[in-house]
Amino acid sequence: MSRSKKLKSLRPEVEVADTSFTAQEIFQNKVLRPILKFQNNLILDWFDSQVEHNKLRLKENAESNLKALLAKSPKLQAELKGMIIGHLTTLEYRTYQEYSKDLGRRIVQMALRRYLSQR
């Protein structure tokens, strides 16, 4: 079995309303969301680790505190994106590269929303 087939077989199915209009939205819904779901526990642990390491208080202004932390640290953003990008097939990675600025922003936003909704 090829790497691409193995990667795709690991991804859980994600129900998404078919209202995608742009190539980025289609990629987000068909590729990124399933990977984020697959990596959910890692994402949660990663955010917990960052909260502890940076001594953030999540009881007040959790979202703005986490956004500020990510905004001031490109290294943290890259680490978070890497957890997702590493699960792309070669063809998917080429698509990611084409829209990397927008899709990278979407990855960070979706991961943050995922964390905040579960903590």
Mean pLDDT by 10-residue block, N- to C-terminus, for the chain (119 residues)?
A: 88 78 90 96 96 86 90 94 96 96 96 93
Return d(Cα 87, Cα 41) in angstroms, integer. 15
At what angle are helices 62-71 and 40-53 packed, to 10 degrees?
A: 90
pLDDT of amino acid 73: 93
Instruction: Of 14, 40, 41, give the one whose Cα is nearest residue 28.
Output: 14
* Token couple for 77: 């953003």
Return d(Cα 19, Cα 35) in angstroms, integer. 20
pLDDT of amino acid 81: 97
Query: What's the predicted TM-score (pTM) here?
Result: 0.89
pLDDT of amino acid 114: 95
